[in-house]
Structure 1
Amino acid sequence: MELAGKVIAVLPPKSGTSRNGNEWTVQEYVIETHDQYPRRMCFDVFGADKIQQFNIQVGEELSVSFDIDAREWQGRWFNSIRAWKVERVGAAQPAAPEAPFPPVGAAPVAPVDFAATDEKDDLPF
């Protein structure tokens, strides 16, 4: 799955040691979409190497690819949204919309004469 938006929060990293004795680190981020009704999503990046590689900062425009999983703990279920790819969205400005009227001094365009190609057509209207 994928979601694009602006990073609005970078939460402190959490770390620990697994039952097997392996060190782990995870950091959570909150991203907000630019929809008419903005949505927010908290996602995490697992592993110190990935956290450093992605180097996510507040205010950045990102496209986040992630997986969703759920786990049960003491009779309750929790969702996990884990990012596996983060891309910065280009800061390119959108193209200016085309003007509805031709610029002043532009040569007038002749209207199309549809009667010249009047052929029998099968449309009932």
Structure 2
Amino acid sequence: MEISGKVVELLDEKRGSGRNGEWRKLDFILETQDQYPKKVCISVWGDKIDQYALNVGDQINAGINLESREFNGRWYTDVRAWKVDKMGAGDTGSQGESQIPTPPMEAPAAGMPQEDNDANDLPF
């Protein structure tokens, strides 16, 4: 899955050790740019924290995985980022160069019902 929006808050980095060794986790709050914006808490683990170097105000597109687990009869959901691409004017990476602008949609011809347009757009 993918989600895009603006980083509005970086939470404190958490560190610890477990059976697989040392671990690091950074949670950040992403606000979507929809008609009704939503805030989503997303986690980044390990070396990806340094790789992505997130800052408040960054416009990003994140590849995420959702996972829920049960503990004592309650369910908890994690949103983990596995890819983060920065967007916008400040981005000098290849992501900004590879974006192709989408042409504006044309209005249907006058007098032509919309239903007929949709029926004729079938690929087969």
Give the TM-score taking structure 2 as reference length: 0.69
* SS of aligned partner of 1:37: coil
Residue aligning to 2:8: 8
* SS of aligned partner of 2:34: coil
CA deviation profile, 1:20-61 (whole Å, cap 9, x unmatched): 2611110100011111111111100011x1100011100000
> Aligned ranges for residues 1-125 of structure 1 at < 5 Å?
1-18=1-18, 20=19, 22-47=21-46, 49-91=47-89
Uncovered stretches (5+) of structure 1, i.e. residues with no partner: 96-125
* SS of aligned partner of 2:48: helix
Q: Between the two proteins, what is the percent identity of the paired residues?
A: 41
Q: How far has the Cα of 1:65 moved from its partner?
A: 0.6
Moved over 4 A (4+): none
Distance 2:86 2:25 in 1: 20
More helix by share: 2
* SS of aligned partner of 1:51: helix
CA deviation profile, 1:56-100 (whole Å, cap 9, x unmatched): 1000000011000011223221000000000011328xx9xxxxx
2:13 aligned partner, one-letter code: P
* SS of aligned partner of 1:59: coil
Give the TM-score taking structure 1 as reference length: 0.68
